[in-house]
């Protein structure tokens, strides 16, 4: 495997107490849907979509709105507009290669896992339902923490929910955005970064432990001595 600064680490195997997943860019590709969503919201609030999109990726909607339309930066509005997103733009969403198989294997093996996302609960739950994805043991959403990524609060909450406080270094987080990687590392977790939304240079700068193209190059199987065994089949 190699150190967190070695992006040319060979394939290998590692064991963890649990797996934590980001959602957008890690499990599903929602970029096209999000772009359309922000165009609609931009028209509604009188802010150019291009201005919104400059700062929105990997950031909670409420934090984006604090920058471009503070009067709309409250959870009632965020949940209302995000709840409509899957119905309006779900046809634009694609699964990240290997994600469904990986999630199904994790769920079927009864491995402890959670999804930790910058989406609100209505949006994240609807994506899971609409796409028939495995339901995680815990779902940590945007409104459950005061500060979004790169603040580590969301991952710290997931560790607490899984009963793994003090064992963060035994937990692997799968992320795609530099902000998410930084959040997970700040929480003390190991990080497997995917090159699904950012360049290798951008991802490497956040100092993940491993880098993979997507989840088709990563696998998992039955637990070994109470831990989740993860195979890094093609790690950069």
Catalytic residues: 22, 24
Which candidate, 217, 176, 218, 212, places its Cα nearest to that of 197?
176
**Distance between CA 13 and CA 67 in Å, rounded?**
42
- Quick one: 185 exposed, middle or buried, by C-beta within 10 A (0-12, 13-18, 19+)? buried
Which candidate, 167, 174, 178, 194, places its Cα nearest to that of 114?
174
User: Does the bond joining 150 to the residue before it have cis omega, within 30 degrees of 0?
Assistant: yes
**Distance between CA 22 and CA 173 in Å, rounded?**
8
Residue located via tokens 């934590």: 20
Question: Is residue 175 a contact partner of residue 194, using CB atoms and an 8 Å limit?
Answer: yes
């Amino acid at each position: 495997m190699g150190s967190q600064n070695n992006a040319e680490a060979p394939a290998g195997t590692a064991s963890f107490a649990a797996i934590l997943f980001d959602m957008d860019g890690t499990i599903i590709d929602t970029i096209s849907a999000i772009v359309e969503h922000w165009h609609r919201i931009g028209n509604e609030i009188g802010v150019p979509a291009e201005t919104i999109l400059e700062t929105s990726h990997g950031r909670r909607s409420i934090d984006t709105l604090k920058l471009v339309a503070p009067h709309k930066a409250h959870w009632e509005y965020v949940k209302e507009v995000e709840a409509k997103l899957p119905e309006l733009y779900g046809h634009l969403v694609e699964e990240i290669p290997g994600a469904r198989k990986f999630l199904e294997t994790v769920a079927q093996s009864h491995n402890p896992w959670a999804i930790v996302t910058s989406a609100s609960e209505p949006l994240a739950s609807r994506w899971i339902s609409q796409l028939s994805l495995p339901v995680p043991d815990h779902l940590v959403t945007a409104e459950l923490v005061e500060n979004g990524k790169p603040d580590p609060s969301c991952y710290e909450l997931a560790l607490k929910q899984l009963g793994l406080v003090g064992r963060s270094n035994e937990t692997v987080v799968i992320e795609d955005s530099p902000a998410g990687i930084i959040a997970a590392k700040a929480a003390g977790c190991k990080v497997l970064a995917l090159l699904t939304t950012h360049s290798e240079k951008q991802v490497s700068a956040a100092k993940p432990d491993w880098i993979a193209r997507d989840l088709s190059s990563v696998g998992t199987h039955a637990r070994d001595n109470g831990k989740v065994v993860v195979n890094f089949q093609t790690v950069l």
